[in-house]
Amino acid sequence: MANMTTTDRSPLEMLSTPVQYLKGVGPQRAELLHRLGLKTVKDLLFYFPRDYQDLTDQRDIPQLEEGKLQSVLGVVEEVELRSRRSSGCVLGVLIRARGGHLRALWFDQPYMRDKFTVGQRVLVSGKPRYRGLVWEMAHPRVQTVEDEQPDSTAKILPVYPLTEGLEQWHLRRIIRTAVEQYAPVLEEVFPAEYRQAHDLWPIRQALPQVHFPDDRESLAKARRRFVYQELLILQLALAIKRQQTQLRQAPVLEATALIDSRIRRLFPFELTAAQNQAIAEIAADMGRAVPMNRLLQGDVGSGKTVVAVYAMLLAVAHRHQAALMAPTEVLARQHYLTLGKLLANSRVRLALLTGGLTGSQRRQLLEQIAAGQMDIVVGTQAVIQEDVQFARLGLVVIDEQHKFGVRQRATLKKAGPDPHYLVMTATPIPRTVALTQFGDFEISTLRQSPPGRQRVYTYLLGEADRERWWEFFRKKLRQGRQGYVVAPVIEESDTAEFASLEQVYESLANGPLEEFRLGLLHGRLSPPEKDAVMEDFRAGRIQTLVCTSVIEVGVDVPNATLMVIEGGQRFGLAQLHQLRGRISRGGFPGYCAVFANAESEEAQQRLQAFQSTTDGFQLAEIDFRLRGPGELFGARQHGMPPLRVADLLRDADVLEEARRDAQALVESDPGLAKPEHYLLRRMMLNRYGQALELADVG
C-alpha cells in the first residue's frame, strides 16, 4: 500500500524525506524532532521505543490474586509520606481503580513522593497482597498513563525518549504516520531463505510491530528481528576484522626454553598458576607471524604487571622494542620503578617518557628510541602516541585500558610490520560485553590472587561514626601503617554539598590527624610535583595521602592499608573497587571506610554491593545489572558505535546465535562478496567500517 503520490521516487529518496513534510509535523515540531536527532522519515522509523506500556494484563480490584504479577489502572487519590518509629520512612499512595482501592508502598524512598500528584492516572504493576481491608503492592512499577488512551485496554503502547516540548502522545502519532506511510518501501537486507532458516520476520512486517505491537508475541517476534540484525551486523564486522588481522604481519617472538628461564630468573617470586596460564597464551600468540590482539583481565592486585613484563622481555630477547603505556604519569613512573628494580642486573635499556622532561632530555630520548638504543619505553599513552618513532617495535602493552579507548591503538607511529598488542584491564568484563565491544580480542583472565593476601574490611559509615573511625585510623598509623583519604572534588566552585579536597586536608591536618604527616595529591599538580608526593608516600615520609581519584588505578604501596572515601555516592562501583584495590597489596589486612550520602536508590544499591563483597568479577556483574552495559563500557570509551536495539542482559542468547551465524557466513563467503550479501556488507561497513578500521573488501 505504498503511497500513490510517492511511487515515482526510489525507496532511498522516499526514506530521506525530511520530517517536516510529514503530516502533522510542520517546522516547529520538526525543530523538536531535530533535537532528538530525527531529521528524516527513516530516522523516525528506526527511533525504537525505549519501553512499552503493557496495558494488556490489567485487573479490576476484585479480580486481583495474591503473589502474581498484575497491573491495575487507576487514579491517585492520596499521597502520604510518614516516618517510621524504628527508622526510615514509608510512602503510601492510594489508588482508586475499578472495583476498589489499592495502596502502593515504598520504604525508605522519600524521593518517590515527588513522582505523584492527586488525580494523576497511573498504571501500577507488581505482586499484590491482601491486607484485611485493602490490597497493597510494595515497590510496584509505575507508569503514567496519558488521557489520550482513556480506557485503553488490551494495548501495548510504545514509550519513546522525549525532549522538552514534545509529548509522548504526539510523538506516537507522528511515528504512526511515518510507519503507515513508509514501512512498505523498506528494503530487506536478508535473503528470503536466510530469513526463513533463522526465524526472522520480514522488515516490512517487523517494523510496524516493533512500534505498535498487536500483542506480546508479535512484539517479541518483531524485536527479535531487529536485535538479531543489529548483533549479526556487529558480529560480521568483528569476524571480518579478525580475518583481516590474520593477513597482517608481525614479528615472530618465540619463547624458547632458554629465553623463558632467563626471564623467570628475574622475578622475585613464584608466578601463580593463573599468571603462568596467561603467559603461555601470550607467548603462543607472540610466536606467530600475525599480530597478537589480546586482552588481559584480572582483578586489582592479581599481578598483571609481571605478565606484561614477561611479554616485554620476550620482545627484547628477540631484539625488538616494547612500549608500556599507562593512563597517568603517576602510574607510568611506578611501572618504570618496578621495571627498574626487576631489570637492575640485566642489560635491558629502559626509558621513561613523561611530561616532566626538559626539551633537550626529551629530544635525546626520542633519538635513542628511534635509533633502537632503548629496549623498553614507559610513558603515558598520550606522550608515546604523539611523538615516539620506534626502530623495531615488537610489542605494545596498554595498562588499565578502561581509562581510555583501546581502539586508539592503531594511531601509533610505527615502521615495518605491526607490533603485538596486549591490553590490560582491572575491570572484569562480562561475557556479553567481551563478545561485542572486545569481540576482536582474545582474552586471558587472572582469577587468582598472589598468595598471602589479607582481606579488606569495608564499612559504610555515617557522621556519627566519624570519631570512632579516626580513633581506629590513628591507632593503625601509630602501628606503622599508611592510609589514603579520597575525596571526589578539588574545586571550591563545585556546588556539591561536601567539602573540597583542600578543605578535607585542612580539617584533617588541624583535627583528627594533626599529629601525623599528611600529603596532598590531585590532578592539578605538575608531573614533578606528583612524583615527589608519591615518592614521599612510598618512602613513608607521608603517612596519609589526601587525594582525588588519581590514585584509583594501579598505585602500589603495600604498606598502605587504610582508606577513607568521602562522598562515596559520587563514585561508580568499578571506581570504588579500584580505589579499595590500593589497600589490599601487602601482608596486612586493609580497612576501608566509606562516608556517603546516597540520594538515589541506585547509589544505595551500589554502596551495599561494595560493602558486601571484594570480588571484582561479582561487582562487575552487579554494576552491569545496575547501570547497563552502555554506561559501564560506554561506546565513548571504546570508540564502538553503541547498540541501539539489543540489550546485552536480555538478549544474550541472540548474541551467541548471531555470533555463530556470522562466523559461518564469513567462512562461506569471505569478505561478504556474494551479491545476496551486498546489503549486509554495506550496512556493516557503514556502521563499523571506521571504528574497526575495516578495509573495504571487494
- Told to check if 269 binds ligand ADP by CB under 6 A, we report yes
* One character per residue 188-227, x = contact with ligand ADP (rule: CB under 6 A): ----------------------------------------
- Told to check if 428 binds Mg ion by CB under 5 A, we report no
Give the number of other CB atoms < 10 A from CB of residue 529.
14
Task: Please check whether residue 687 is in contact with residue 641, taking contact to mean a CB–CB distance below 8 angstroms.
Answer: yes
What kind and span of H or E run contains 323? strand 321-326
- Residues facing residue 547 across a β-bridge: 486, 521
> Least distance to ligand ADP from the beta carbon of 76, Å?
51
DSSP string, 530-556: HHHHHHHHHTTS-SEEEE-GGGSSS--
Give the binding-site size for ligand ADP (rule: CB under 6 A): 19
Q: Choose from ligand ADP, Mg ion, none: what does 328 bind? Cβ within 5-8 Å by kind.
A: none
Give the residue with the Cβ less far from ligand ADP, 55 or 424. Answer: 424
Task: Please check whether residue 611 is in contact with residue 460, taking contact to mean a CB–CB distance below 8 angstroms.
Answer: yes
Q: Choose from ligand ADP, Mg ion, none: what does 298 bind? Cβ within 5-8 Å by kind.
A: ligand ADP
Q: Residue 512, SS3?
A: coil
Among 372, 450, 641, 689, binds ligand ADP (CB under 6 A): 450
Give the residue with the Cβ less far from ligand ADP, 209 or 584. Answer: 584
> Least distance to ligand ADP from the beta carbon of 400, Å?
8
Q: Choose from ligand ADP, Mg ion, none: what does 301 bind? Cβ within 5-8 Å by kind.
A: ligand ADP
- Told to check if 402 binds ligand ADP by CB under 6 A, we report no
Give the binding-site size for Mg ion (rule: CB under 5 A): 1
Backbone angles phi, psi at 226, to 5 degrees: -75, -35
Q: Choose from ligand ADP, Mg ion, none: what does 128 bind? Cβ within 5-8 Å by kind.
A: none
Give the residue with the Cβ less far from ligand ADP, 31 or 615. Answer: 615
The whole-angstrom separation of Cα 586 and Cα 204 is 62
> Least distance to ligand ADP from the beta carbon of 556, Å?
5
Closest by Cα among 149, 199, 241, 289 to 694: 241
Among 585, 659, 677, 687, binds ligand ADP (CB under 6 A): 585
- Told to check if 554 binds Mg ion by CB under 5 A, we report yes
- Residues facing residue 83 across a β-bridge: 89
Closest by Cα among 470, 425, 477 to 446: 425
- Told to check if 372 binds ligand ADP by CB under 6 A, we report no
The whole-angstrom separation of Cα 65 and Cα 135 is 10
Among 239, 300, 315, 384, binds ligand ADP (CB under 6 A): 300
- Told to check if 302 binds ligand ADP by CB under 6 A, we report yes
The whole-angstrom separation of Cα 367 and Cα 362 is 9
Backbone angles phi, psi at 162, to 5 degrees: -115, 175
Q: How far is CA 296 from CA 389, 424, 426, 582, 653, in A?
A: 26, 5, 9, 19, 25
Q: Choose from ligand ADP, Mg ion, none: what does 222 bind? Cβ within 5-8 Å by kind.
A: none
> Least distance to ligand ADP from the beta carbon of 554, Å?
6
- Told to check if 417 binds Mg ion by CB under 5 A, we report no
> Least distance to ligand ADP from the beta carbon of 263, Å?
14
The whole-angstrom separation of Cα 562 and Cα 542 is 13
Q: Choose from Mg ion, ligand ADP, none: what does 689 bind? Cβ within 5-8 Å by kind.
A: none
The whole-angstrom separation of Cα 312 and Cα 4 is 67
The whole-angstrom separation of Cα 48 and Cα 160 is 7
- Told to check if 305 binds ligand ADP by CB under 6 A, we report yes
* Cell numbers placing 352: 621513561
Among 306, 456, 583, 609, binds ligand ADP (CB under 6 A): 306
* Region of 97-105, 185-193, 464-472, 554-562 interacting with Mg ion (CB under 5 A): 554-562
Q: Residue 220, SS3?
A: helix
Give the residue with the Cβ less far from Mg ion, 419 or 554. Answer: 554
Q: Choose from ligand ADP, Mg ion, none: what does 64 bind? Cβ within 5-8 Å by kind.
A: none
Give the residue with the Cβ less far from ligand ADP, 237 or 326. Answer: 326
- Told to check if 616 binds ligand ADP by CB under 6 A, we report no
Closest by Cα among 29, 11, 10 to 20: 29
Among 218, 272, 328, 561, binds ligand ADP (CB under 6 A): 272
The whole-angstrom separation of Cα 484 and Cα 412 is 36
Q: Which amino acid is at 580?
A: R
> Least distance to ligand ADP from the beta carbon of 279, Å?
11
Give the residue with the Cβ less far from ligand ADP, 304 or 318. Answer: 304
- Residues facing residue 136 across a β-bridge: 103, 129
> Least distance to ligand ADP from the beta carbon of 324, Å?
12
* Cell numbers placing 196: 526463513
Residue 667: half-sphere exposure toward Cβ, Cα within 13 Å: 6
Among 329, 556, 623, 651, binds ligand ADP (CB under 6 A): 556
Q: Following CA atoms 128, 130, 131, 135 in sequence, which dihedral angle do they give, to the nearest 10 degrees? A: 60
Q: Which residue has the cell 513508509?
A: 182
Q: Choose from Mg ion, ligand ADP, none: what does 138 bind? Cβ within 5-8 Å by kind.
A: none
Binding interface with ligand ADP (CB under 6 A): 269-272, 275, 298, 300-306, 426, 450, 554, 556, 558, 585
Residues of this chain that interact with Mg ion (CB under 5 A) are 554
